[in-house]
Structure 1
Amino acid sequence: MRLAMPSGRQDPQRNPGLKRKAWLAVFLGSTLFWVVVALLVWKFWG
């Protein structure tokens, strides 16, 4: 039976550049979502 958690000898290597790109994608996606929401609100109630 294999465990879901990896053992200590198999720690994944984390790339700080990849982490930065992931956070940037999250923030850009969130910003795009709220811009679309604002435009829809402006269209319906403007």
Structure 2
Amino acid sequence: MPSIQLSKTGVFSVNIPIRVARSLKLQKGKKTTVRKGKNSNELIVTIERN
């Protein structure tokens, strides 16, 4: 189950299932942008690729 955690310093930690990460060919340290979605409880995570 995906989850997002926010530290006291404002750092986001996004946890997704390993099979999803492998299918997207993600690695630790990828640059991401987190922004608010249309709903008040929705966050959109954008993963930037070169």
Which structure has the higher relative contact order (CA within 8 Å, separation 6+)? 2
Structure richer in helix, relative to its length: 1
TMscore range, shorter length: under 0.3
Structure richer in strand, relative to its length: 2
